[in-house]
Structure 1
Amino acid sequence: MGLLPVLAFIVLMFRPKSKIISSALPPGPALCWPLVGNLPEMMLNKPAFRWIHLMMKEMGTDIAGIRLGGVLVVPITCPKIAREVLKKQDANFASRPLTFASSTFSGGYKNAVLSPYGDQWRKMRRVLTSEIICPSRHRWLHDQRAQEADNLTSYVYTLATAPSSAVDVRHVARHYCGNVIRRLVFGRRYFGEPQPDGGPGVMEVEHMDAVFTSLGILYAFCVSDYLPWLRGLDLDGHENIVKKANVTVNRLHDMVIDERWRQWKSGHRGELEDFLDVLITLKDAEGSPLLTIEEVKAQSQDIIFAAVDNPSNAVEWALAEMTNMPEVMRKAVEEIDRVVGRERLVQESDIPHLRYVKACLRETFRLHPVAPFNVPHVALADTNVAGYRVPKGSHVILSRMGLGRNPAIWDEPLRFKPERHINMEANNDVALTENDLRFISFSTGRRGCVAASLGTSMCVMLFGRLLQGFTWSNPAGVAAIDLSESEHDLFLAKPLVLHAKPRLVGHLYASSQS
């Protein structure tokens, strides 16, 4: 009998190690309905993201488990838990949900950002990292970005010197981002006729409206995504919105891509000028085209979707906050005058030296994220997170607003304080990225943003040119800017409209116009 404990000990010591999965799911609503889970509560408490955050606050938890149909949705508001997901267990959370919107916008999962984990994702991710968003390509298209910064300066000058001198900052910011990314992808700012004042035409406005509609509804807690047998009934109108936006985007993109495809295949084009040329001309190991035209279209849309909302939202919110805080505005403008001067315009080469300007943008990403949650991550296998069981197939969503406004991490979390991001050692850079996930500017991990350098350039150039070129103030009769969030998203409730006055010598605006 004395040998049995010894044998049992030997077996336990040398048996294959298996991961022990906790039996407890993350805390969630007390009531969970059969089959539909908490979908009734979600539908009665729109928008869903505000219901989720209020529920977590009332429960006093940084991780929750909400059953929506057959899916466990796991929102997270704690940086430590977020790092456990995207750093320690990144490989297990490398997939994406299969939704009506993501399938539609990705052309049936042919791109990199929205595709579930698998060979297609690996292929398109490799294309992005090695051929599109790499340092050599970033340098290659520098001049195109610089031209769009000049176009921005010229366009705002035209608006600022008009009789009203009122500038819709949201309009300017979104269309600057649209101009930049259309120039990089398609080699052109306009789908239609150029505008004399440098502003967007009808087709460009249509393009940005459809892109922002698409982004706003991409992972919008649609009922049929959790109960697929309801798909086609379109109970909440989600599917119709998705289809209409996608038709608009595809119509505008396809008129460029189809013609360019014909040019390359017929031998009438022989020089690479933009990302579209790169995608079309890629070859595999046997010298055959690497991508089909459907993959080129899906990846082009992927790049455009990823580039426009984050920089434009950050700059609009930053100017709104700083207009109400003249001392912060003064410090940012003084830094630009010190680093750049007033005899030339801000350039990308100045970005490393604009530490306070970048601190203002970091603080905006923290306090005013572009979306409530990061793009969902799907668990590839059962696992434990923060001591709780997270089953295979669960959707883990990191809360951008919960991380950035977490009072356990940030002092006075609802106050705009750029100084919190300044390291007093003068040689230390201030990066817009945030590797510790105390907030999310550009997402991280193997499914994270691969274009942080492009995003940084777009953010700082947009913000820097607006601060350097113009003095901003409230419109007549407005004592302070209303910083209320929209009820349905995290944008300003009303587009930011400010009075702008040119502050540089006239020939700089004239040179940018030329």
Structure 2
Amino acid sequence: MMDSASYSAPFAALWDTFGRGTVVAVLVVVVVGELLLYARFQAQRRSTLPPGPRPWPILGNFFVFSDVNHAHHDLRRLAAKFGPLMYLQLGSVPCVVVSTAEAAKELFRGHNDECLISRPKMLGLEILSDNYQLMAYAPAPGKLWHSLRKFGSMELFSFKRVAFYRSLREEELRHWIKFVLESREGEAMNLKSCVFELAANMMTRMLVNKRMFDITGADTQQQLLRSEFESFMEEHYKCLMPNVISDFLPFLRFFCEKLQGWRAYIQDHQEKSVEFWTRIIEVEKHRQRAAERQNDGSYVPDLVDFMSTAPLDDGKVLSDRNITLQILDFFLGGTDTTPLTLEWAMAELVTHPNFMKRAQEELDRVVGLERLVEETDFPNLPFLQAIVKETYRLHPVGPLGGPRESTEPVEALGYKIPAKTRVILNIFAIHRDPAVYERPDEFDPTRFLDRHRNVNPLAAFDSYELMPFGVGRRMCPAFNLGNTTVHLILANLIHNFDWALADGQNIDTFDMTERLHGVTFSLKYALSLIPTARSGILARAL
């Protein structure tokens, strides 16, 4: 092994031969030359990347955000200056922001989509997915992701299976409407909170064949569960995608994860989550019941029954822990976004009474006054569909979608995007693209009755101008269930009740400001409405 003297000998020889001044000059020339070569390389690299603001050393472009909790607004403003594909350097993480429908279409065309389906590594996602073992966070492409994705789209959330649970959704809806009619009519109600209970019960009936909440509030045990669950939800969203700076500056990992305690904090929450949901789900009981009742014609299996026995592509079934975490993820995804979307829709309708009246007239004409709105009615309710599309467009509850990362270099709009680049879909900006939509900041469902009537928010590779469930192969696998639930609840809210703003609010001054709600966006101030039963509701609800 060479000692330090051996390493220094060549430099000492140079020093003796050429003198101190010459050696220093040579070193300066070498260093400057290397810096120039590096600068030239970076300039060449930048010339092939999309345009963007000049980054600061180390921190990159973090200073472009006036409020990180409303980054979609800042990114939309920057895109007006730098273009529909914009490059940002967030710490050491290269990012490309997509801000128009045309740019999204170009970026995700053909083979590109296969290169843009992976997820970046982030502390919260890593821990809460048990090292990326869940469908929503598994890295792709890869055997695990392809197997889980196939399992989800072809089995768990297929059109056939969603239709299979139609009667459960309608049963919960009837139960909820009857409760509102008997206990809340004429009184102010927090719409999002009440609809959350309905959506949660619909989900848990499908997932584990039990009601999550007693909406009447009479069951003390259920009240305790509700309180425990609300604390869990708040903590989970705090841990899912926290602002951990080491996700963007890895050299600070020890400081953020160890000294600040982020890793231990999220891991502790993860184990509490598993314990909490193990009590609710009881996988082994589901497995035993499925085995005992497989020949029972009246047996209606829930999703846990199915997941505990159905094999993946490799022939193996999911572990109990993985099933528990998958069900948790499905539940949170379904019960967070649906109430928020419905709150935005109702806020727009009560402040646009002409649209509310038109929707009620359509429902009365198509459905009549003798029954509730059913899922089979949807194809005959074009204005209801237009309201839902316009709500998706104007108020996407996840305005920046799920984070993605390129696995291979791709090209779009003449630019080259390297591998390991984070891709951010600014759905908020795409949905308000003035090249696509006239008056893009206004609520106007009629746009989806004429010029944009063929736009399909459920299409993975078409309709890039409306993508509330994402785009391509990484699109939310439960898009059909989510869309069906939103239509069903909204239609019956409109059909069965007239609604008025509570607390002396005025439709002309109603505050539509948004606020961050976990990883989604809701109204800054909860929507408080007073329901009044419409003609015939008593007969329909009983």
Same fold flag (TM > 0.5): yes
Alignment partner of 1:303 out of 330, 341, 350: 330
| Match status 1:254 vs 2:283 | no
Matched position secondary structure for 2:514: coil
Aligned to 1:345: 372
Please report how far the alpha carbon of residue 469 of structure 1 lies from its aligned counterpart in structure 2 after TM superposition: 1.2
The superposition leaves residues 450-500 of structure 1 with CA deviations (integer Å, 9 ceiling, x where unpaired) of 222211210011101111111001225222232112267631111100111
Q: Which position in structure 2 is the counterpart of 1:373?
A: 400
Distance 1:26 1:458 in 2: 39
Helix, strand or coil at the partner of 2:438: coil
In 1, distance between residues paired with 2:491 and 2:208?
25
| The 10-residue stretch of structure 1 (150-159 or 496-505) with the greater mean CA deviation from structure 2 | 150-159
Q: Which residue of 1 is the match for residue 144 of structure 2?
A: 120
Whole-Å separation in 1 of the counterparts to 2:387 and 2:157: 25
* Of 432-441 and 101-110, the range deviating more from structure 2: 432-441
Gaps of 5+ in 2: 1-44, 295-299
Counterpart pick for 2:190 among 153, 159, 168: 168
* Structure 2 partner of 1:364: 391
8 Å CA contact 2:151, 2:312 repeated in 1:
no
Contact (CA 8 Å) 2:290, 2:301: kept in 1 or not?
no
Q: Which runs of 5+ in 1 are unaligned?
A: 1-20
What residue in structure 2 maps to residue 203 of structure 1? 225
Q: CA deviation at 1:140?
A: 2.1
Q: TM-score, normalised by structure 1?
A: 0.84
Question: Does residue 106 in structure 1 map to residue 129 in structure 2?
Answer: yes
The superposition leaves residues 302-332 of structure 1 with CA deviations (integer Å, 9 ceiling, x where unpaired) of: 3223322332222111111111111011001
Q: Does 1:26 align with 2:50?
A: yes
Correspondence 1:508 to 2:539: yes
Cα contact 1:27–1:64 (8 A) shared by 2: yes
Question: Is this contact kept in 1: 2:373–2:488, CA < 8 A?
Answer: yes
Where does residue 293 of structure 2 map in the other structure?
Answer: 270
Give, in whole Å, the separation in 2 of the partners of 1:47 and 1:451: 26
**SS in structure 2 at match of 1:264:** helix
Q: Which residue identity does 1:71 align to in structure 2?
A: V
1:22-42, Cα deviation, whole Å (9 max, x unpaired): 8422222223213x4234x26
CA distance in 2, matches of 1:267, 1:423: 49
Match of 1:482 among 508, 511, 534: 511
Contact 1:68 1:226 (C-alpha < 8 Å) held by counterparts: yes
Partner letter of residue 94 of structure 1? I
* Paired amino acid for 2:276: L
Residue in 2 that maps onto 1:139? 163
Aligned-partner SS, 2:308: helix
Q: Determine if contact 1:211/1:245 at 8 Å carries over to the other structure.
A: no
Q: 2:341·2:397 contact (CA, 8 Å) conserved in 1? A: yes
Q: What is the rounded CA distance, in whole Å, between the counterparts of 1:255 and 1:356 in structure 2? A: 43
Q: Which moved more, 1:317-326 or 1:265-274?
A: 265-274
Quick one: which amino acid aligns to residue 138 of structure 2? Answer: S
Output the CA distance in 2 between the equivalents of 1:308 and 1:478. Answer: 27
CA distance in 1, matches of 2:318, 2:449: 44
In the other structure, the counterpart of 1:433 is 458
Distance 1:400 1:440 in 2: 7
Aligned equivalent of 1:56, options 53, 78, 82: 78
Change (3 A) 1:159 1:48: same
Distance 1:429 1:352 in 2: 13
Q: What's 1:15 paired with?
A: none
- Residue of structure 2 aligned with 1:177, choices 185, 194, 199: 199
- Name the stretch that deviates more: 135-144 or 230-239: 230-239
Counterpart CA distance in 2 for 1:61 and 1:439 is 19
Give the stretch that moved more between structures: 485-494 or 107-116.
Answer: 485-494
Q: Does 1:401 align with 2:401?
A: no
Equivalences, count: 484
In structure 1, the partner of 2:526 is: 495
1:69 maps to 2:91 = yes
Partner of 2:119: 96
| CA RMSD, 1 decimal | 3.2
**CA distance, structure 2, for counterparts of residue 483 and residue 353 of structure 1:** 30
CA change 1:212–1:180 in 2 (3 A) is farther
Find the counterpart in structure 1 of residue 382 from structure 2.
Answer: 355
Match of 2:41 in 1: none
User: 1:373 offset after TM fit, Å?
Assistant: 0.5
Q: What CA distance in whole angstroms lies between the structure 1 residues aligned with 2:222 and 2:532?
A: 22
Find the residue that maps to 1:65 and give its secondary structure.
strand
Tell which deviates more after alignment, 227-236 or 99-108. Answer: 227-236
TM-score (norm 2): 0.80
1:409-445 per-residue CA deviation (whole Å, 9 max, x = no partner) reads: 21111110000001489xx888553632113222221
Indicate how the Cα distance of structure 1 residues 204 and 246 shifts in structure 2: closer, same or farther if over 3 A, else same. Answer: farther
Percent of aligned positions that are identical: 25
Paired with 2:360 and 2:455, the residues of 1 have a C-alpha distance of: 17
Residues 1:148 and 2:172 are matched in the alignment? yes
Residues in 2 aligned to 1:256 and 1:487: alpha-carbon distance in whole angstroms: 28
1:259-290 deviation line (CA, Å, top 9, x unaligned): 3325526987434620000000113689x642
Q: Give the whole-Å Cα distance in 2 for the aligned partners of 1:265 and 1:289.
A: 18
Q: Which has the higher helix share?
A: 2
